[in-house]
Amino acid sequence: MNAGIDDSAFLRIAAVTKDFGDFRAVDEVSLDVARGEIFALLGSSGCGKSTLLRILAGFETPSSGSVTLGRIDLARMPPYERPVNMMFQSYALFPHLTVWDNIAFGLRRDGLPKAEIASRVEDMLRLVQMPQFAKRKPHQLSGGQQQRVALARSLAKRPQLLLLDEPLGALDRKLREATQIELVNIIRDVGVTCVMVTHDQQEAMTMASRIAVMSEGRFLQVGSPVDVYESPTTRFVADFIGDVNLMDGVVNDHGDHGGHVDVRCADVVHRIAPGGGMRPGQLVTVAVRPEKIELRADRGNDATWGERDPINQVDQVNQVRGIVRALAYFGGYTMYHLELPSGAPLKVNVGNERRSRDGAPMHGDAVWARWLPGSQVVLTQ
């Protein structure tokens, strides 16, 4: 089947645009999803995630562009004929039907033979580890179990493409995290290609092998969770995924620091590996994640931080003095909010490896925050 189809472009979204009147909900989006991949569309409410998913499901027609799955042009196919199934959030199950009948529902509607239906339902119950719950009604199940039944029902028809729209939105945090991992394991077992929509970055990063960060109908960045977190290409993505410190600065024009470039910001000079097409005099934004920064009582005095920069006449290379203005204890780490000399804030996360907080900086303390070259990302847009 599908001989000759490139598995890395099993689902191909090509320049898809969707207009509602004069409002553009999806703006020229292109994407290849590999066979068997779990892909997440991530963005805040209203950015066009569900509209794009509904186009894949066939509930909306694109204003322009095309969607192909394997060799099939989906746009020419009515929703009920597509080898695609969509799972919505909590209201997915029929309350008056048992678990068994919920899973069998779509198969009966398609008129499959009784024996085939029974064998598929039993397979699905085993897959989601719920054979013992077959006779229960949805209200007799936990939220996580209901979600597993909903997934079993979506998979019973053996779709080639599974679509999940905010699948776990109704669950509380602990259960959501456990269910995310369960769903991923089941989807991987079946090997079905999956596109999911979420506004929850933690959910996208847990479940998906790649993520598209969306804003105003466009893809700002597509990459693995590590890519979008560690190598964001725009301020928006750096700021949207996780916590970040953003500092505006100018690329210094003397670039003879033995293989690095300096970016002068209000409170600190960032020493950075060259690259990324930085030009002397260019205005850039330097991003540093709070967990990449360490706090010390004193200035760093070794080769990385210590030598006074003879050209810039600064002794604040990759380090800066700040006053602790607030601290928030999160159990695994403490977030410090520092005030830098210019008045700008700096967030620093310090891991709590030990139980004792003896010697940890307190409210009002003066501290040095420092980071290694290579901890920063330079953003030009």
Binding site for ligand ADP (CB under 6 A): 20, 23, 25, 43, 45-51
- Identify the three-state secondary structure at position 200: coil
Instruction: For the CB of residue 179, give the shortest distance to ligand ADP in the complex, in Å.
Output: 21
Nearer to Mg ion, 50 or 245 (CB): 50
Q: How many helices (H) and strands (E) does the chain have?
A: 8, 20
Least separation, in Å, of the C-beta of 56 and ligand ADP?
A: 12
Shortest distance in whole angstroms from residue 150 CB to ligand ADP: 19
Q: What are the strands, taking DSSP E only, across the chain? A: 11-20, 23-33, 38-42, 64-69, 72-73, 84-87, 161-165, 193-198, 210-215, 218-223, 245-251, 261-265, 269-272, 283-288, 294-296, 319-329, 333-339, 345-351, 366-370, 376-379
Measured distance CA(229)–CA(236) in Å, rounded: 12
Question: Which of ligand ADP, Mg ion, none does residue 61 bind to, with CB < 5 to 8 Å depending on kind?
Answer: none
By beta-carbon proximity to ligand ADP, the closer residue of 215 and 319 is: 215
91 binds, among Mg ion, ligand ADP, none (CB under 5 to 8 A by kind): none
Q: Under a CB-based contact definition with an 8 Å cutoff, are residues 39 and 196 in contact?
A: yes
Among ligand ADP, Mg ion, none, residue 293 binds (CB under 5-8 Å by kind): none
166: left (phi over 0), alpha (psi -120 to 50) or beta: left
Query: Which H helix or E strand runs over 115?
Result: helix 114-127
Nearest distance in Å: CB 197, Mg ion: 6
Q: Minimum distance from CB of 50 to Mg ion (Å)?
A: 3
Determine which helix (DSSP H) or strand (DSSP E) holds 294, and give its type and residue range: strand 294-296
Nearest to 147 by CA among 196, 81, 201, 213: 196
Residue 377 CB coordination number (10 Å)? 20
The yes or no reply on residue 160 touching Mg ion (CB under 5 A) is: no
**Which of ligand ADP, Mg ion, none does residue 159 bind to, with CB < 5 to 8 Å depending on kind?**
none
- Which among 309, 234, 243, 219 has a CA at the least distance from the CA of 31? 219
Nearer to ligand ADP, 197 or 238 (CB): 197
Residue nearest to Mg ion (CB): 50
**Smaller CB separation from Mg ion, 31 or 128:** 31
* CB-nearer residue toward ligand ADP: 47 or 56: 47
Instruction: Output the smallest distance, CB 379 to ligand ADP, in A.
Output: 24
In whole angstroms, give the CA distance from residue 264 to residue 249.
5
Spatial CA neighbour of 190 closest among 132, 130, 126, 143: 126
Instruction: Select from ligand ADP, Mg ion, none the partner in contact with residue 215, using the beta carbon and a kind-dependent cut-off of 5 to 8 Å.
Output: none
Residue 276 interacts with which of ligand ADP, Mg ion, none, CB < 5 to 8 Å by class: none
Q: Which does 313 bind (CB under 5 to 8 A by kind): ligand ADP, Mg ion, none?
A: none
Q: Pick what 51 binds: Mg ion, ligand ADP, none; C-beta below 5 to 8 Å, kind-dependent.
A: ligand ADP
- Closest contact distance (angstroms) between CB of 223 and ligand ADP is 19
Nearer to Mg ion, 50 or 147 (CB): 50
Residue number with the shortest CB distance to ligand ADP?
50
Q: Say which entry of ligand ADP, Mg ion, none residue 46 contacts (CB below 5 to 8 A, set by partner kind).
A: ligand ADP
What is the identity of the amino acid at 38? Answer: I
Question: Which of 171, 66, 201, 186 shows the shortest CA–CA distance to 126?
Answer: 186
Here's the x/- map for Mg ion, 185-204, by CB under 5 A: it reads as --------------------
Tokens of 378: 């330079």
Q: How far is the CB of 216 from ligand ADP (least distance, A)?
A: 9
Residues 39-58 that bind Mg ion (CB under 5 A): 50
Quote the least distance from Cβ 212 to ligand ADP, whole Å.
12
Per-residue burial over 232-252, b = 16 or more CB atoms within 10 Å of its CB, e = otherwise: bbbbbbbebbbebbebebebb
**Given the structure tokens 């590996």, which residue do they identify?**
273
Please report, as ranges, the residues that interact with Mg ion according to CB under 5 A. Answer: 50
